Amino acid sequence: MGARPPPLGHVCDLGHDAADPATRLYQTNQRQGFHTDSADVVALLCLRAARSGGRSSLASAAAAFNAVLARAPELAPALFAPVATDHRGEEPPGARPWFEIPVLSFLDDRLTVIYQRRYIESAARFAAAPRLDDRQRAALDLFDAVLDDPDLHLEMDLEPGDVQLVHNHQLLHDRTAFLDHPDPARRRHLLRLWLCPPVGRRLPPAFTERYGSIEVGRRGGVVPRVPPVVALTP
């Protein structure tokens, strides 16, 4: 499935350049923007909070879609058309470095989301990747705008010991920019686990290129059968 992150990921500022396409945004102190990960469930454990900022937000894909329908129904179909998204170095061996998938999909009367606007934009670094047309770009701009609407998302501060569990196919998550403590021992540090439970919704076939498999219990992220000993430093 390519160069996927280890089972337990460290979410902290490693000083990487957010403008570099090889950088994962969770390795910076910049805002991430509303997005999804590559897992059924995203689990976060807060070890240390930032000096300021780093607030977590959650937004419902269904609520965002309904807001798009209410504001500009003519743009809504564009969210169901495939768009090129940068693998950011996580492509399987021999695969192209981007994948194509709709932001929103319906299957079994359920709305499923997969989205990372920065990775859609950075797919343009590949000459062969399809470009966004004006209608798609307008639809994504509106999708971002409704996700940013304070009435459409929930904000929370994660404190040491707090655990956040997010159903990745229904909810998008975000984190604001933050200012860290000068003392490295006090800097913001969260642990992230991608989980693939043995039960879950079916995913559309288009997810196969990103997840490697769409079989329930064996797709995306990592299957939750990991060793009990993990590194506690990035």
Distance CA 131, CA 94 (A): 22
Question: How far are the Cα atoms of 90, 114, 213 from residue 208, in angstroms, in the given order?
Answer: 14, 12, 5
Question: Going from the N-terminus, what domains does the chain have, and what CATH number goes with each?
Answer: 8-211 (3.60.130.10)
Question: How far are the Cα atoms of 42, 43, 124, 147 from residue 86, in angstroms, in the given order?
Answer: 20, 23, 8, 21
Question: How far are the Cα atoms of 59, 138, 156, 167, 171 from residue 41, in angstroms, in the given order?
Answer: 15, 29, 18, 5, 10
Model-wide pTM > 0.85: yes
Distance CA 144, CA 67 (A): 11
**Nearest residue to 203 (alpha-carbon basis) of 63, 136, 87, 104:** 104
Take residue 27 and report the two structure tokens written for it: 């390795």
- Looking at residue 20, what is its pLDDT? 81
- pLDDT tens per residue across all 234 residues of the chain: 344 445 678 999 998 888 887 778 888 999 999 999 999 999 999 999 999 999 999 999 999 999 999 999 999 999 999 999 999 888 878 889 999 999 999 999 999 999 999 999 999 999 999 999 999 999 999 999 999 999 999 999 999 999 999 999 999 999 999 999 999 999 999 999 999 899 999 999 999 999 889 999 988 864 444 455 566 677
For the chain, how long is the longest CA-to-CA vector? 51
Take residue 12 and report the two structure tokens written for it: 């902290």
- Looking at residue 231, what is its pLDDT? 66
Give the residue carrying structure tokens 């798609």.
136
Classify each residue of 156-184 as buried b or exposed e, where b means 16 or more C-beta atoms within 10 Å of its C-beta: eebeeeeebebebbbbbbbbbebebeeee
- Looking at residue 164, what is its pLDDT? 98
Distance CA 187, CA 146 (A): 32
Classify each residue of 53-88 as buried b or exposed e, where b means 16 or more C-beta atoms within 10 Å of its C-beta: bbbbbbbbbebbbebbeeeeeebbebbeeebbbbbb
Whether 106 contacts 95, CB under 8 Å: no
Question: What φ, ψ does residue 208 adopt, rounded to 5°?
Answer: -60, -40
Count of positions (residues) in the chain:
234
